[in-house]
Chains A and B, each alone.
Chain A
């Protein structure tokens, strides 16, 4: 029996985190039917002032504030798996660690803007609109660290040239596809309607589904890599 090192505990936070994120997503009224950027300042202010919406905005964003950074331990576990790959330097694992804080920090900033808008809904509608714009543009456009994470992981896997690589090659292809699906969201400022707008098909649905699928797939792949690593470790010890 190996000593508990806590890795399995960290790994099992992922399904719990998934349930919490999906619940918070459903609670926030601005996500289920994503708010249109074409709403006027008065309409945006009315959204925050609506007594039905206000508690759901606050509770949803408070939960995201608590658990938005919850993915960092999983990214740290992925960095550890990169460290086991047949590389000559730790550059890729360093790069993944450098990305790990970026995505969650940016999401936290968007979360702060939403919470600020909801804190005093009676504020001048122009100011509520400004906070709402900052929240949505930050949330939608900031795909850089997520793209980098996927590209770095893909490169690391392609260069992991050993008999039994840590992650199978399809994981690298999958990561490049995810990186490509995240790119259109960066152009969120270019359109108020259509697929690129912040409530549009590419920027909202494709991007967020891609992030969700990435987390689910990487969770399974990571669990398998850790299980294999442990089985090999036990075999060596025995």
Chain B
């Protein structure tokens, strides 16, 4: 490992490792992804919590322990924007928006699922509310990713240092658009627009996974390319 790039590599490996860990925790351990139907009756919701009680409690406990790793991940991406020829305002906006995103986008869901799982005998009507709170906070947190992707898009398109290729700017637009089409999840309980639907979930997840693999690859290339010399860095 090139000593001058050690912080960048720590950041990059944190991104790679924790995206995988989060994937494992959400899809395998807690089994909260792909999401269940919004149309479950209160009795079915009680059943849903009962079936994965330990997975929810222990899975989200691990999410809570490693959730803060997003700070170093977002810091690394903010640094890549800082290397661009654009104002520092872009990097700082990205950093703050994504630091904020962790709460409604991930941790609130974990708290709600833990509260739901720890008292299986709670009134089913309240369990149904907890279930809605969990999935709608997760799926329905849109603005941070919408504005975050647009900030990144504009930075890439204006950048003259060639940190990321221009086409990645447009991929950011695709990611931003997924946050637009997810909005009906707040309204529909069935069909393609519901929180588990083809549009609100499957297409979005497809775009997000592609987007993530692409920016990890591009970030790795940026780090390999960086020629730090010995001078001070931004």
Contact = CB atoms under 8 A, between A and B. Distances in A.
Q: Do A and B bind each other?
A: yes
Interface string B58-94: 1011111111111110111011001000000000000
B114 A92 contact: no
A195 interface: no
Interface stretch (A19-27, A63-71, A182-190): A182-190
A97 B95 contact: yes
B65 A144 contact: yes
A176 to B, nearest CB: 14
B42 to A, nearest CB: 13
A105 B65 CA distance: 17
B57 A98 contact: no
B7 A92 contact: yes
Given A106-B103, A144-B66, A145-B67, A189 B10 contact: no
Contacts of B52: none
B165 interface: no
B221 interface: no
Interface string A121-145: 0000011011001100110011111
A127 B122 CA distance: 10
Contacts of B66: 144
Nearest to B14: A95
Interface in A129-167: 129-130, 133-134, 137-138, 141-149, 151-152, 155, 159
B7 A141 contact: no
A202 B123 CA distance: 30
Interface centre among B114, B122, B233 (most CB of A within 10 A): B114
Instruction: State which size class the interface on A falls in.
Output: 35 or more
Contacts of A231: none
Contacts of B169: none
B113 to A, nearest CB: 9
A126 B115 contact: no
A46 interface: no
B126 interface: yes
Contacts of A192: 118
Contacts of A89: 7-8, 79, 233-234
A189 B57 contact: yes
A76 B157 CA distance: 31
Interface centre among B4, B71, B74 (most CB of A within 10 A): B71
Given A98-B70, A143-B64, 15 more contacts: A87-B7, A90-B234, A97-B75, A97-B95, A99-B71, A101-B100, A127-B126, A133-B115, A133-B119, A141-B110, A144-B66, A148-B70, A148-B71, A187-B58, A189-B60
